[in-house]
Every structure is written in structure tokens, then in C-alpha cells.
Amino acid sequence: MRTQVLIIGAGPAGLLLSHLLRLAGVESVVLESRSREHCEHRIRAGVLEQGTVDTLNEAGLGARMQREGLVHHGIELLFDGKRHRIDLTTLTGGRAITVYGQHEVVRDMIASADEHEQPLYFGVSDVTLHDLATDGPWVGFTLDGAMQRIDCEFVAGCDGFHGIARQSIPHDALQIFERVYPYAWLGILADAAPNCGELVYAHHTRGFALFSMRSADVTRLYLQCRPDEDLSQWSDERIWAELHARFENDDGWLPSIGDITQKGVTPMRSFVCEPMQYGRLFLAGDAAHIVPPTGAKGMNLAVADVRVLSKALAAHYREGRGDLLHAYSTTCLERVWRAEHFSYFMTNMLHPSLEDSPFVERLKLSELRYVTSSDAASRMLAENYVGLPFHE
């Protein structure tokens, strides 16, 4: 087999890149180690920046998102027993966020790939990347027990933090920046209609908590916990009691209780590799960078990456230009580091830690009071939260 661009990974980054390349008249093939069912049902965060929503709509992928997505014009910060609203739309000139599950985005993209007969192979194994620093890279893999080879002109590594793409780059060709946080999130899905129209971020001496939602009938909630937390020690009753303790406030609002259908622990880390390209290999999404979930940037950064990469590849094939491909890493990293800083800022401000002295805890409370009382500070948080606009 042969194609122009070989894409590894059928998550949001890989699927969107394939779709954008098709619109630009560039051939691609997508390889995915997981099953189609796994990809379509893997629950991940679903807060979409305004730029991500615009990108999906412009690409013709937003019809179901427009019908079923929940548009939010603000968020709330809860501390000292009081709720404080940040008006995202007013502070950013009309921009907003949309709550729409990542697995729903993936389903929409796979359905589009089916409709347009885009080559998409699930359940591949033994993927190996070869001759990346030459004009003729190729990828080997096993599909249905048979060894296969695809020759290509470019490889896009969209296969996540543990994928083969970044591991195929020589160690001395990359610089790694990383921070591992001393806490994690215990997340649940609950069959309970969300009883607040916006996300609520709570800072409490017992630990951070987050109220979110996945649909009009399903609530998504998180509790700060230890990275090595034993889920067997967390009964449903204990989870709800802890959530209600951390969300306690002066107006009496608390999340509605419902049957918990999923529990999991999400570790928290920041990670960036530089550069995001090597020879004919280009990394996108979690393969190149990880952010803690507090800032809701993970999938949005992946979308931003493939916007840049798809335009660079289109310019290469349509106009014979190489400058945009050459600048890919530099262009993406400017947004990546802004998102890393914002995610670090939100995480540090909202999470108490055993390492915090009373002095540090007072600093965090001071910062929360400042961002909820100062127009300038509120605007900084709002414009970063809804996502900085694309300059193209």
C-alpha cells in the first residue's frame, strides 16, 4: 500500500487530521491499535473551546454537536463557602465553551470517515516506523495476522502519550519538560440530571472538587485524591458525602445524587517534548504534550495542532511550499506553552496540597479572590479558558 500521509492513532487528533486532509485533496490512511468500539466508547473530557467548535463546524463535523452539545457562557469558582461566577462570554467578546463528550466527537469523525470511504484500520499491532529522516518513510504493522507495509511521504504521530510515534524518535533529538503533580482526580459518572447550568470548580481545605456534566441526564464529578488511591475504599456513599462536603456553600446548592455508573482515577502531569517533529514525522496531541485536566485543554490542543499540520501539508502539496512544515513545531509550541501555563495556574490555585504551608494556602485564597473580583484578572482567566483565537 501507499499513501501521502500515514496517520497513527484514531483519536480526535488523527481522525480530524484525516478529515481535514481529505478536504484539502491530500490522501491519508489511519492506523489504530484499539478496536472501533473502544475508540467510540472511551470516555474522556468534553469541554470544547470556541476555536475547536468553530473548527468542527467549518469542517462539516458539527451537526450533532450543535444539536446535543451544551453551550456554557460562564464557569463558577467556589471557595470560602461562596460561589463566584466568571462570565466567559461577556469578558471575551462573545466567545463560549461547549460541553460535548470526546467520544461523541470521535463517533462523528468515524461516521464521516465511513461516509467518505476514508481508509481507517482498527486493531493493528506491531507498528514500526522506518526511514523517518529520509524522503521515503514507511510503516510496518500487523493486521488480521498478516504483516503489512505502507509507504508514505509523511507520518503523523497522533497515538497518545504511550504511543510508538514519539518513541521512534532518537532520544538525543528531543528535549523533555515534565512535572508530575502530587495528587490525582477520582472521577465518576452519575445518572443524575445536572442541577447547575455551568461547571463549578471548588477549592476546599479537604481538597479540590469539580462539578461537570456529559449530557442533560448524566453528571460528571471529580474529587482530588492521592495518585495511588485505592478505589475499593471509596463506596458510593463515601463519594457523595465527600462531594457534598467540598461543595458546601452559603446558598445551599449541592450536586444531585444518582447511581454511579463509572469510577476512575486520573493522574495529573504536565509534559512537553521539543521539537514536535523529526524528519518526516510530525507529532500531534498527547503524543507531544500533556496538560493536567484542570484547564480543559487536552483535546483542544490536539485540534489546534492538526489545524496547523493540515494547512502545512496542504501548502506542501498544493503550492510546493515547505516553510509551514518546517515551522510546524515552533508554531504549535507557542500555543502549547500558553496552555501549559494556564493549566498549571488553574491546578495550583485550586488544589490544596499536603506540601502547602499556611502561607501558601493563604496565597491561593488571595489569588482566587483576585481573579473573581478584578475585571482584568477575570478577563485573563476567561480568554484562556475559552481558548485564544487562531491567527492564520
Check 19, 73, 103, 297 and give the catalytic one.
297
Known active-site residue 263? no
Check 100, 201, 222, 328 and give the catalytic one.
201
Q: Are 203 and 353 in contact (CB under 8 A)?
A: no
The CA-atom distances, in angstroms, between 53 and each of 23, 48, 57, 59, 74 are: 18, 6, 6, 10, 16
The radius of gyration computed from the CA coordinates of the chain, to the nearest angstrom, equals: 21
Check 293, 351, 352, 364 and give the catalytic one.
293
Amino acid at 95: R
CA angle 153, 156, 161 (to 5 degrees): 150
Known active-site residue 103? no
In sequence order, the β-bridge partners of residue 260 are: 190
Check 100, 183, 222, 385 and give the catalytic one.
385
Known active-site residue 72? yes
Known active-site residue 297? yes
Check 12, 19, 72, 316 and give the catalytic one.
72
Known active-site residue 316? no
Return the active site residues: 72, 201, 293, 297, 385
